[in-house]
Structure 1
Amino acid sequence: MSLSEESNKFAHDKIQWLLENQCRIPVRSTTPIHYYYKTSDTLIDQADYYYQTNQFEQSFILYSRYITLFVEELKKYHRDFPNVSINDRERVKDIIRTKAFPRAEELKEKLKEKYIREYQEKQKTTDENEEDYSKISVSTLTCAPITSTYDCSQELITNSINSDRNFYGRISIPNDITAKFIEATEQNTARNIETYGILGGYKKNNNEYIITDIIIPKQNDQTNSSNIENENEEEEEEIFKYILNNNLIILGWIHTHPNERVYLSNIDLHKHLSYQMLIPESIAIVISPIFNQTVIYSLTYDIGIPI
């Protein structure tokens, strides 16, 4: 395979990796569909900001998320999609037709050129190093060849993405948020019950969000359990009604560990993914009063291997 063919394949594979791994927002049918429509305005605003500041990869990801959310995910997974108003449908179609799709296609071509250039530059450096090494005269011992199944192109893909990963905007957290949440959950903590809250706030400008509210929903009265997944739909509807009525967006979540140190479980990671795919700046705060620990978590998007 020629260098040109190799670099084109690398660029194609990397763009496909982004589309398959970074551009699908998990959809919950119990989340009011109008919340997705409201929050998506923030998504498109952030994509516009990255586009205007020449942050091509970040902008491409967010435009693609917007397109995928409305063209595929909601239509396929949300039971209330047929009930969306004509005005909302037409507004989203217009954004996709006039902005999101053409810009995503434009950015795809720019990224393809960028990835081809990166691959060829790296290959040139590798070839030069090998040429320099071949000029060194040393005694050698001939050994049987060692083969590897490791795919170097995957290293290039993840390393290149890793170099661009710090694109998240700023998120401001009130100084007293921990103290207030500990006080509000004191009785549950004394009974060894985890408590879960949703972080609400608003977008201050193109690159900053501010947390203003903690919404604590009704929860299961179980030791070490703050799993809202089991709450009934009426209670979840109340949460989103409050969020929408107060013109808030969800910026993550917070919960306590009454008798453990702080960490995110597998369930927690999946829960947080649904927040962060919609608003990349979303955070997860975990508090352990007994160990006097508070940690803020955010998922990186380039770690792990495809399965």
Structure 2
Amino acid sequence: MVTLSSPSPSISCVESGTCKSSHVSRVLISGPDNNLGESSEPKILRDVHISERLMEDFTELARENTEKDLETCGTLAAFLERGIFYVTTLIIPKQESTANSCQAMNEVDVFSIQNERELHPVGWIHTHPSQGCFMSSVDLHTHYSYQVMVPEAFAVVVAPTDSSS
């Protein structure tokens, strides 16, 4: 059964002004398949800073769905300053959910928010309400679409009932 899920009948947006509690990620890419159309020597991707608070906000927004065994998904958007992505915005679109899937609806609204605020879609976040913390094959395919737009894109899986984390 697919259920129209919370937290919003349309779209929610949470912003954090700073990234004081942040994590920095540096990744090397190499080879001819680096999508940059350049030489095969390694390239350093841009650093990404994300606030732990955005993760906590997402977990709280997803709580009602988690209690109903429904996934929740959102987009993580960032501004680019001096070659560093600062993730400041969590966008929770209208969505349809099951215990094992979540499909954003009206994705044009998500892109509109990003365009209005000059933000880049650098990541996405979703829950596994009754499963472990892993990337499913569907998750990997979803993630690929983010990495096509922004090579630094990352995914976060929140598994609130996974006691191993």
How does the TM-score come out when normalised to structure 2?
Answer: 0.73
Q: Which residue of 2 aligns with 1:211?
A: 87
Aligned residues: 137
2:100 to 224, 239, 246: 224
Q: Larger helix proportion, structure 1 or 2?
A: 1
Matched-pair contact (CA < 8 Å) for 1:287–1:293:
no
**Structure 1 pair 285–221 and aligned structure 2 pair: CA distance change class (3 A):** closer
Q: Which residue of 1 aligns with 2:115?
A: 244
Q: Which residue of 1 aligns with 2:59?
A: 182
Q: Tell me the distance in 1 between the aligned counterparts of 2:62 and 2:94.
A: 12
CA RMSD between the two structures: 2.6
Q: Larger strand proportion, structure 1 or 2?
A: 2
1:253 to 117, 124, 129: 124
Q: Tell me the distance in 2 between the aligned counterparts of 1:292 and 1:177.
A: 21
**Structure 1 pair 185–60 and aligned structure 2 pair: CA distance change class (3 A):** closer
Matched-pair contact (CA < 8 Å) for 2:78–2:119:
yes
Q: Tell me the distance in 2 between the aligned counterparts of 1:62 and 1:177.
A: 30
Amino acid at match of 2:80: K
Matched-pair contact (CA < 8 Å) for 2:99–2:129:
no
Q: Which residue of 2 aligns with 1:267?
A: 138
Which has the bigger relative contact order, CA under 8 A and spacing at least 6? 2
Q: SS of the residue aligned with 2:52?
A: coil
User: CA offset at residue 177 of structure 1?
Assistant: 2.0
Q: Tell me the distance in 2 between the aligned counterparts of 1:255 and 1:239.
A: 15
Q: Tell me the distance in 2 between the aligned counterparts of 1:260 and 1:221.
A: 15
Amino acid at match of 1:218: K
Q: SS of the residue aligned with 1:274?
A: helix
In structure 1, stretches of 5+ residues that fail to align are 1-54, 65-103, 112-160, 295-307
Matched-pair contact (CA < 8 Å) for 1:170–1:209:
yes
Q: Percent same amino acid at aligned positions?
A: 29
Q: SS of the residue aligned with 1:185?
A: helix
User: CA offset at residue 293 of structure 1?
Assistant: 6.7
Q: Which residue of 1 aligns with 2:69?
A: 192
User: CA offset at residue 227 of structure 1?
Assistant: 2.5
User: CA offset at residue 175 of structure 1?
Assistant: 1.9
